[in-house]
A = this chain, B = another copy of it.
């Protein structure tokens, strides 16, 4: 067995290597925002490769928003903007189990009805049928979040036959019905009487609210509001500019 290449380094493609090198220089501060990056023909000689290979690396960084390229002038590290960063909003069940707690779901109410409220009609249209589910997400046995969900039965007819009494509808939907678009909204609210009772928290406590609407193509799938106990759980968003670029292995 001759070791032609280190098995730990499975011969990373050259354009990936170039991209990584530049990324590292930006991340470490060797290349600061506004500073000029080497020309393509310079990197060509450094890496001893063709311009297309350098171009592929640079184009990827440009698409990721890390650098800016101007004809004749050259390439520069981009001044980052504070908007458009990446955030993780995981499925609540996955999130809870990931932090080592046991997950449970408890269905409180289940109704099938014709769309009447504005919210329901936005989802299912005039006279569409809607599955209304209300339940509780439990972390280590304790209530963590209240969920109020509407499912468009025209788009997901098989949902009507599913027993959600101990299964997270969101988790089921995630696997059963692939979506193509999502809209989320994060807000804060004060716990009203009902939240107080259902989450077992004090009246008036701050809660984090996550509203989510999903589509599958042109069709609306579901609308959900998850209200979290603000003290026990924080909908933590952890992000980082360079994550816009491809993740490392």
A187 touches B234 (CB 8 A): yes
A230 touches B188 (CB 8 A): yes
A14 within 8 Å of B by Cβ?
Answer: no
Q: Which residues of B contact A85 (CB under 8 A)?
A: 86-87, 89, 182, 184
Q: Decide yes or no: A27 and B190 within 8 Å by CB, A204-B204, A217-B32, A246-B63 being known contacts.
A: no
What is the minimal beta-carbon distance from A216 to any residue of chain B, in angstroms? 7
What is the minimal beta-carbon distance from A62 to any residue of chain B, in angstroms? 10
Size band of the interface chain A makes with B = 35 or more
Complex Cα distance, B216 from A190, in Å, reads 37
Extra inter-chain contacts (8) besides given A33-B178, A182-B241, CB under 8 Å:
A32-B217, A33-B180, A83-B91, A86-B86, A87-B87, A188-B188, A188-B208, A206-B230
Q: Give the B-binding residues of A (Cβ under 8 A).
A: 26-30, 32-34, 60, 63, 79-80, 82-91, 174, 178-190, 204-208, 216-219, 228, 230, 234-242, 246
